[in-house]
C-alpha cells in the first residue's frame, strides 16, 4: 500500500473536452488503485471546495483538459486551499495554455516553431476579413494550419490547402475561442514527447509517432480506437529522436513547467523538429500519448502517477 492516505483525481469540468477528461480521470484512478493508492475521483462542482476543506487530500492529480484545467484557474484554487497537486503552477499554465505566447517563449530559447499569425475575432471583423486573409496567405503561403489559440484535442483545428478554404476554417475555429492561431503548415512526421520529473530533473520519454488514417490528427483520430496508428517509440533515427527529446525538455524548462508535460512537434524531411504546442495536463485515456510513451520506456503508468503524487505531497 502507498503512504498516500487520500488522493483526489479531478476530472470532468465544463470545457469542450469534458468527456476526454472523464476518461483520463477514470484511467488514472484505475492505475493508481492497481498501484495500491486509495483514490477518490471528483468533478469540479460546488461541492469540491467544501469537501477539500473538510477532508484535505494528501495530493491532487488534475486530469481536467482545456479551460480551468490547463489555464491555471483550478490550480490557483488548490493553492488558495494549500492543497498540493501534480503539475505546473498557475502562472506557468497561463503562459503554456496560450499557444502564441508559448511559441514566443520557446522561440526566445532558440527552438524552431512554424511562422504564424494570431488573429482575434474583433480584428478579423473590423479590418475586413477578405483583405486580412489575403495578406496572411501572401505572408505565410499555403498550406496553413488553423487552430484556436487556446484549448486542445484538436477542436476547431484544420488544414487549409487553398485560399478559398481559409474563411470557413476561421469561422469554425472561432466557435472554440476568440483568437485564432494561423501557422505555416510543416509537412513531416508528427511526434509527441512526454516529459516527466520525479525530483531528479525533467526526462523525456520515448517519442510517439502519430499516423492518422485521415491524414489529420483531429478529435476523432485522437479518441476513436483504430482511427490512428501509433509507433512508440517513433520511427526516427537516433539523432532525430534525440533532437525531439531535447526540444521537449527545453520547452518544459523554458515555460517553467514541472512534474509532467507533453510537447507536440513536427519533424520535417530534413530531420529538423518544429515545436507546435505544449500540454500541461496530458491526456491519460486508452488512446493517449503519455501512457504509450511510458509503456515504451518500460515504465508502469500506475507507479509513475503514484511517484508524481508522492512528489507533490512532499512539496506541499
Active site residues per annotation = 17, 153, 223, 262, 264, 277, 279, 283
CA atoms of 66 and 50, how far apart (whole Å): 24
Strand, coil or helix: 296:
helix
Q: Are 137 and 170 in contact (CB under 8 A)?
A: no
Residue written as cell 491524414?
215
DSSP string, 36-97: T--EEEE-SSTTHHHHHHHS--SEEEE---SGGGTSSHHHHHHHHTT--BSS--HHHHHHHH
Q: Are 38 and 5 in contact (CB under 8 A)?
A: yes
CA atoms of 227 and 253, how far apart (whole Å): 33
- In total, the chain counts a number of residues equal to 316
Q: Are 251 and 106 in contact (CB under 8 A)?
A: yes
Question: How much is the CA Rg of the chain, to the nearest whole Å?
Answer: 19
Q: What are the grid coordinates assigned to 95, written together?
A: 503562459
Residue written as cell 525531439?
244
CA atoms of 229 and 207, how far apart (whole Å): 14
Q: Are 205 and 296 in contact (CB under 8 A)?
A: yes
CA atoms of 244 and 239, how far apart (whole Å): 9
Amino acid at each position: 500500500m502507498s503512504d498516500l492516505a487520500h488522493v483526489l483525481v479531478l476530472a470532468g469540468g465544463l470545457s469542450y473536452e469534458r468527456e476526454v477528461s472523464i476518461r483520463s480521470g477514470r484511467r488514472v484512478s484505475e492505475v493508481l488503485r492497481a498501484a495500491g493508492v486509495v483514490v477518490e475521483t471528483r468533478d469540479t462542482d460546488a461541492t469540491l471546495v467544501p469537501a477539500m476543506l473538510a477532508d484535505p487530500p494528501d495530493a491532487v492529480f488534475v486530469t481536467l483538459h482545456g479551460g480551468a484545467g490547463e489555464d491555471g484557474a483550478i490550480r490557483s484554487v488548490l493553492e488558495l486551499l494549500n492543497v498540493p497537486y501534480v503539475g505546473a503552477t498557475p502562472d506557468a499554465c497561463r503562459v503554456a495554455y496560450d499557444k502564441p505566447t508559448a511559441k514566443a517563449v520557446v522561440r526566445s530559447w532558440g527552438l524552431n516553431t512554424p511562422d504564424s499569425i494570431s488573429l482575434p475575432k474583433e480584428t478579423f471583423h473590423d479590418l475586413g476579413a477578405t483583405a486580412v486573409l489575403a495578406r496572411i496567405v501572401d505572408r505565410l503561403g499555403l498550406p496553413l494550419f488553423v487552430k484556436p489559440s487556446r484549448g486542445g484535442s484538436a477542436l476547431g483545428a484544420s488544414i487549409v490547402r487553398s485560399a478559398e478554404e481559409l474563411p470557413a476554417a476561421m469561422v469554425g475555429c472561432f466557435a472554440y475561442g476568440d483568437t485564432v492561431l494561423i501557422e505555416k503548415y510543416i509537412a513531416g512526421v508528427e511526434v509527441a514527447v512526454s516529459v516527466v520529473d520525479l525530483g531528479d530533473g525533467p526526462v523525456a520519454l520515448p517519442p510517439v509517432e502519430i499516423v492518422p488514417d485521415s491524414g489529420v490528427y483531429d478529435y476523432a483520430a485522437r479518441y476513436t480506437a483504430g482511427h490512428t496508428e501509433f509507433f512508440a517509440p517513433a520511427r526516427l533515427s537516433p539523432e532525430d529522436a534525440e533532437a525531439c527529446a531535447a526540444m521537449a525538455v527545453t520547452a518544459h524548462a523554458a515555460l517553467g513547467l514541472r512534474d509532467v508535460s507533453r510537447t507536440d512537434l513536427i519533424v520535417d524531411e530534413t530531420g529538423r523538429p518544429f515545436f507546435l504546442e505544449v500540454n500541461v495536463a496530458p491526456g491519460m485515456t486508452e488512446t493517449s500519448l503519455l501512457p504509450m510513451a511510458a509503456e515504451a520506456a518500460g515504465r508502469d503508468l500506475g507507479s509513475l502517477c503514484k511517484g508524481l503524487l508522492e512528489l507533490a505531497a512532499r512539496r506541499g
